Structure 1
Amino acid sequence: MKRLMLAAAIAVSACAAPSSPDPAAGEGVVIYPAKAVVTMAGEGDTAEAVAVSGDRILSTGTLADLRGALPAAVVDTAFEDNVIVPGLIDPHVHVVLGALQYNLPITPPWPMATPHGMKAGLPTREAFLAALSGIVAEAQPDTPVVAYGYHNLVHGDLTRTDLDMIAPDQPLIVWHYSSHDFYLNSAAIEAAGFTPALAQSFHGIDLDEAGELTGRIYEDAALLVIQAYAGVILAPENVTAGFHGFSSMLRQAGVTTTAEMAYGLFGWEMEDANIRTNWGSAQAAGYHLYLVPEYRALERTFGDGKVQAVLDMVSGERPTPAPVLPRVKFFTDGAFYSQTMRLSPPGYLSGQSKGSEGLWVAGPDGIVPAIQPYWDAGLGVNIHSNGDAAQGATLKALETLREGDGPNNSFVIEHGGLFSPEQVELAGRLDAQLSAASHYVFYMANEYAGPLGDVRAKWISPLGALTVAGVPVAVHSDAPLAPPYPLRAAGVHMTRATREGGVYEAEMALSPYEALEAITLDAARVLGLEAEIGSIEPGKRADFTILGENPLDTKGKDWDAIPVWGVVLDGVKRPLAEQEVSD
């Protein structure tokens, strides 16, 4: 097969102008031999070398065969002691959100990788409150203080009174680890001008029994806090530093492609300015960045012209700071981490959402109307859907959209925190795909067992079962919620390891090949880019990650420690050491 594909590539090149390099003879071609070239074109498909012409893959095979077919090619032995895999992909990050949060004071519930190194976790309520008190003590007097990383299932409930005791007169804002919730003290509420009347317009306004603000402002109301405290949260110098740090983490992990999965959520002008200034281009940054617009931001800005706005972004008629994919991001329910994802009855058994079933965003009646205009235009769908009740509504909507002879669009469930066995089978039958949050099992499975109850807790991120059902499964970081390290993300789903040192529902694990596929070819699929990247095959983009060991020969627990030499991006070698020195 490889010889046939090489012959086809050579036949195409015969039409080139006489002055152009001639790939048929190997002119302008570079051959990279390696300990192994893991193509991901099929399980067990490896090669000795890969031939690259410009920014495209020409062929793979033995070194002898490639040299024989391409006598004028240059043989570059830089990777002869390394393993070449398709460029690693993190298909769901939030570069703007990460830029905002990575440069804030951080109070994480567990050890957290940041651009500044590992930040020690705060495993108790007492440790968290002490750290928060220290942050306030070190802040400039009378200036608002924003800290990121609190988690209620680890740190306990957080009330307005708790925050008033730490900062009685200074505005104090605590950002939940999930990024979906804020907690404000009285001074912050007063300075922002927030009143209980907001609850009439937003469902994310928490009121006590007396009808007063508790200080918790979340989900659709969270943007009010960002707007009120933009001077701190959106400070340009902090965003720039955070963005550069985020980029460094992506490069260190060998990422060649990532996607901002909520473009426009913080406002097009601000996001465009930051991405254009701080990312610049793939060659400048060291990785490809794609953008997927968020449906509520499109509705707010473009109204009835929202579908055409996406099409214009994709075509380039409407300028954007990075390429926009022909896809739209939607939401069914709330967040896994902050216990606002939508559950089946009896809902949450404990935690801050005890007694409730969580939150809808679009909800059962709103999903199809939200998606339909984009669906009819042939655009792909990436839909945040976490709880088991949410999966039921999301899959029912997909069933409706698949009816008849309409478009068979790509439909990707994002995060997929919880499924029932029946929903797993239905997802396979409906040709759904999953881009799974890599970290729910590792960080939160044990903590969530109580709020969910034994039956539902067994089906947190059931990737093994979904794979058996025929659902393509990718994994993502959702950074900054987890570090944008694909090898780590995939490795933990081979082991189903937890941060406490145990193993959670081992039968839901991925095989080594499935795990690598989840950060290469299937990660490309959930972005609609599988024809361009994700495997090492002729005609695809020459994006490779260069590793010190073959992941397929390495235990899952050790994937995080596999050395990364750097990447080949668009056919250009980019050693990690040189990139970090020049950054």
Structure 2
Amino acid sequence: MRKILSFIIVLALFGYGENSYSQKESITIYQANKILTIDPTMAEYEAVAVNIHGRIISVDTFNNLKDRFYNAEINYEFKDKVIIPGLIDPHVHMTLGAMMYGLDFIPPWEMETPSGKVQGLSNKYDLLERIAELEKNAQDGPLILYGYHDLVQGELSREDLDKISQTRPIFIWHYSGHDFYLNSAAIKKSNLSKKLANKFDGIGLNENGELNGRIYEDAALALFKTLAPELMSPSHIKKGWEGYEKILSRSGVTSVAEMGYGIFGIQTEDFFTNNFYTEEDHYRLFQVPEHRAFNKEFGKNKIKKIIKLSKEKGRSARVLKQVKLFTDAAFYSQTMKMLEPGYIGGQSSGKTGLLVTEPNELANTIKEYWDEGIDIHIHSNGDAAQNVTLDAFEKQAGGEKGQRFIIEHGGLFLPEQISKAARLGVGLSVASHYVKYMGDDYKNAIGKKTQYITPLASAFKAGIHTTLHSDAPLAPPQPLVAASVHMTRRTRQGNISTPSERITPVQALRAITIEAAWSLGLDKEIGSIAAGKRADFTILDKNPLTTKAEEWPNIKIHGTFVNGVFKKINIK
């Protein structure tokens, strides 16, 4: 009798189902033409019930939800729309993006910016002409421009920039974000000398042993004191941050992760985040601490600090119990670490690139975090880098159930490396734009290895959790565009790069929703439309699963829900 009574009490407390629950709080039912849940069965429905707290109560047929929640408010605004889980970009850089989006662009190809599309400059003549035009019309002070790429626009020298101005410091920021190209006035202003080549790898010297104007990777830090007053001023960051948010809004993005929190100083980034990311902003911002930054500031206490921050309530941006590491350098600037014969053309011809962290140090650093239950994201681009990264992770014996190790970017992946990553349970977060922008151009630099650029179909087939990211501002945060790229594998020249690596529409949609959430350890909260999850949705005019891959970038985005609150897209 006592057991029966206990059972009745449980039923009374929790209700027989959602009917009882619905009478206790306000619920809204949103009718749609189609709801793509992206749950494990890829179920499709036509209505979703959301409570006043911004949580999903149920997703079902419209009639079933009306019957169950008979006191609910009915919203028909989206009855001819398609509702999908809120789009997620799991790897962006907010402060870096704010710096860049506040500058004039000189890109090698057409690029989306906050103020619209900027036409690409496809050769050196057009590039130098545009730099000269911007220099002529610039206000007093240094000229800092972003977007140059040597493989497309030709090699850029100190002398090229001196011809434009011998008095104004000119800093050209490479598309990769890892390199700068300076004229003589900029070199003088930055107090650079050829002696720095003894301290840094990234000091470019000409055949006479003099500075050629290229400053890259570790040496780029030497420019920071010179550039900080221009790039890090609150007014400049505010302008760039607001521009960044415009792109997020019109791209239907509801969540992003800053993949390198602390690189520009933890207090500095906190100031920017607290002032420019507010409750009114219609997206979620998560932060993944960067190892070197936290090690520099907190030393042996870095892990305790990360765990403490991850538990803090009331932060404008939520810190995740995760860390970002680096194995090698950059894909775009031809400094990622390559297996022999290395680079066969371009500015790194005859070299094999750079490791940011040596193998033994990497394995030890991974162990520090892994043994404490910290999820790890690791920047790893070249084929040699993948060997170093996977070997270092294979040595780990600790860790916790459900802990995640994610390779970020994955510029080149050989078939045997895909197999090894799958065996080790490694996740893959791929830079979505490498194959489009460099699938053809990189043939001059790495030859036949271009066939191994971001092989997503192989990763999915191997059972690897695979997602796509923009690495914004290196490419605009546009998940539907990113997904389209990997369904078609079409380069910017119109060719198809490794057609066998094209992914399906279902894989593509999962890569920008639930798989992106998984990579951040947030798949229990966001990434699919299911009871108990946050009501984050992106509202589309078309069903992407029945739309041609090449048309995904043209699907109109009507608006987004974040935590159950709808906001219509403002395309201005």
Give the shorter-chain TM-score range: over 0.9
What residue in structure 2 maps to residue 479 of structure 1?
472
Taking the TM superposition and a 5 Å limit, the aligned residue runs for 1:325-340 are 325-340=320-335
In 1, are the aligned partners of 2:170 and 2:183 still within 8 Å (CA)?
yes
Instruction: Give CA-to-partner distance per residue, 1:422-472, whole Å, 9 cap, x none.
Output: 001111111111110000011111001121111x11111100011101111
* In structure 2, C-alpha distance between the alignment counterparts of 1:13 and 1:204, rounded to whole Å: 69
CA–CA distance in structure 1, aligned partners of residues 108 and 144 of structure 2: 16
- Which of residues 144, 147, 167 is equivalent to 1:146? 144
Shift of 1:201: 2.5
The answer for the alignment partner of 1:435 in structure 2 is 429
1: distance between equivalents of 2:236 and 2:249?
20
Structure 1 residue corresponding to 2:213, chosen from 209, 212, 215 = 215
The residue aligned with 1:372 is: 367
SS in 2 for 1:110: coil
In terms of mean alpha carbon deviation, does 84-93 or 130-139 score higher? 130-139
Deviations 1:351-405 (A, max 9, x none): 000000000001322211222221111010010100000011111111112x367
Question: SS where residue 258 of structure 2 aligns?
Answer: strand
User: In the alignment, which of 509, 523, 534 is matched to residue 516 of structure 1?
Assistant: 509
1:340 deviation in Å?
0.4
Q: Pairwise mapping of residues 79-118 of structure 1 onto structure 2 (< 5 A)? A: 79-118=78-117
Aligned to 1:172: 170
Structure 1 unmatched runs, 5+ = 1-10
Is residue 314 of structure 2 the alignment partner of residue 322 of structure 1? no
Q: CA deviation at 1:213?
A: 1.8
**Which letter does structure 2 place at the counterpart of 1:479?**
A
State the partner residue of 1:199.
Answer: 197
Q: 2:284 aligns with which of 284, 288, 296?
A: 288
How far residue 321 of structure 1 moved from its aligned partner, in angstroms, is 4.1
Alpha-carbon RMSD: 1.9
Shifted more, 194-203 versus 83-92: the winner is 194-203
Task: Give the SS at the match of 1:365.
Answer: helix
Which of residues 523, 526, 537 in structure 2 aligns to 1:533?
A: 526
Q: Give the counterpart letter for 2:562 in structure 1.
A: L
Q: 1:437 touches 1:478 (CA, 8 Å); kept in 2?
A: yes
SS in 1 for 2:318: coil
| Residues 205, 375 of structure 1: alpha-carbon distance in 2 compared, 3 angstrom cutoff | same
Cα separation, 2, equivalents of 1:405 and 1:573: 39
Residues 563 and 125 of structure 1: is their aligned pair in 2 closer, same or farther, counting only changes over 3 Å? same
Contact 2:373 2:400 in 1 (8 A): no
Alignment of 1:187-336 (within 5 A): 187-281=185-279, 284-316=280-312, 321-336=316-331
Supply the distance in 2 between the matched residues of 1:101 and 1:428 (Cα, whole angstroms). Answer: 36
TM-score normalised to structure 2 length: 0.95
Over 3 Å counting, the alpha-carbon distance change for 1:548 and 1:135 in structure 2 is same
Question: Is the 2:55–2:534 contact (alpha carbons within 8 Å) kept by the matching residues of 1?
Answer: yes
Q: Closer, same or farther in 2 for the Cα pair 1:26/1:213, shift >3 Å?
A: same
3-state secondary structure, aligned to 1:23: helix
Name 2:347's counterpart in structure 1. Answer: 352
Indicate the SS of the match to 1:366.
helix
Distance 1:413 1:26 in 2: 45
Match of 2:410 in 1: 416
Work out the number of aligned pairs and report it.
Answer: 560
SS at match of 1:560: helix
State the distance in 2 between where 1:322 and 1:107 align: 32
Distance (whole Å) between structure 1 residues aligned to residue 326 and residue 472 of structure 2? 18
d(CA) in 1 for partners of 2:225, 2:160: 24
Equivalent residues of 2:430, 2:467 under 8 A apart: yes
Q: Equivalent of 1:457, from 437, 442, 450?
A: 450
Give the partner amino acid of 1:347. G
Q: Which residue of 2 aligns with 1:399?
A: 394
* Residue of structure 2 in register with 1:8 after alignment: none
> In 1, are the aligned partners of 2:175 and 2:474 still within 8 Å (CA)?
yes
Letter in 1 for 2:511: A
Give me the whole-angstrom Cα distance separating, in 2, the residues matched to 1:512 and 1:101: 32
Q: Which amino acid aligns with 1:117?
A: G
Partner of 1:77: 76
3-state SS of 1:447 partner: coil
- For residues 269 and 300 of structure 2, what CA distance do their matches in structure 1 show? 22
Correspondence for 1:3? none
Residue 255 of structure 1 deviates from its aligned partner by 0.6
Q: Paired residue for 2:6?
A: none
Q: Which residue of 1 aligns with 2:4?
A: none
Are residues 1:444 and 2:443 paired?
A: no
CA contact (8 A) 1:524 1:530 kept: yes
What displacement does 1:241 show? 0.8
Shift of 1:157: 1.0
Partner Cα distance (1:372, 1:472) in 2 = 22
Structure 1 residue aligned with 2:26? 28
Task: Give the secondary structure class of the aligned counterpart of 1:348.
Answer: coil
- Give secondary structure in 2 for the equivalent of 1:458: helix
C-alpha contact (below 8 Å) 2:14/2:21 kept by paired residues: no
Deviation at 1:138, TM superposition (A): 1.2
SS of structure 2 residue aligned to 1:417: coil
Matched residue SS, 1:374? helix
Structure 1 counterpart SS, 2:412? coil
1-structure distance, mates of 2:209, 2:495: 43
- Structure 1 residues 506 and 157: CA distance shift in structure 2, 3 A: same
- Aligned-partner residue type, residue 311 of structure 1: I
| In 2, Cα distance between equivalents of 1:134 and 1:182 | 20
Deviates more, 1:442-451 or 1:207-216: 207-216
CA distance in 1, matches of 2:511, 2:216: 31
Contact map agreement 1:380 1:410 (CA 8 A) in 2: yes
Are 1:568 and 2:561 an aligned pair?
Answer: yes
Secondary structure, counterpart of 2:33 in structure 1:
strand
> Which residue is 2:3 aligned to?
none
For the residues of structure 1 that align with 2:239 and 2:498, how far apart are their CA atoms? 39
Structure-2 residue corresponding to 1:57: 56
Cα displacement (A) at 1:43: 4.5
Mapped to 2, the partners of 1:564 and 1:302 lie a distance apart of 43
Give the structure 1 partner of residue 128 of structure 2. Answer: 129
Deviation at 1:227, TM superposition (A): 2.2
Q: Give the Å deviation of 1:293.
A: 0.9
Q: Which whole-Å deviations, capped at 9, do the CAs of 1:302-359 have from their partners, x for residues lacking one?
A: 1111111111111118x85411011101110010000000000010000000000000
Letter in 2 for 1:255: V
Is the contact made by 2:370 and 2:398 (CA closer than 8 Å) also made in structure 1? no
Letter in 1 for 2:436: F
SS of structure 1 residue aligned to 2:71: coil
Q: Is the 8 A contact 2:331 2:411 kept in 1?
A: yes
Would the aligned equivalents of 2:106 and 2:127 in 1 still touch at CA under 8 Å? Answer: yes
Structure 1 position 125, deviation (Å): 0.7
CA contact (8 A) 2:112 2:476 kept: yes
In structure 2, C-alpha distance between the alignment counterparts of 1:23 and 1:559, rounded to whole Å? 39
Partner residue, 1:6: none
Structure 1 residue 506 and structure 2 residue 492: aligned? no
Preserved contact between residue 22 and residue 28 of structure 1 (Cα < 8 Å): no
Residue 315 of structure 1 aligns to which amino acid in structure 2?
A: K
**1:129-184 deviations in Å (ceiling 9; x for gaps):** 1101111111234x111111110001111111111111112111110010000111
- 8 Å CA contact 2:370–2:399 kept in 1: the answer is no
Whether the aligned pair in 2 keeps the contact of 1:26 and 1:72 (CA below 8 Å) is: no
Question: What is the distance in 2 between the residues matched to 1:105 and 1:223?
Answer: 22
User: Which of the numbers 389, 408, 432 marks the counterpart of 2:384?
Assistant: 389
Q: Secondary structure at the match of 1:466?
A: helix
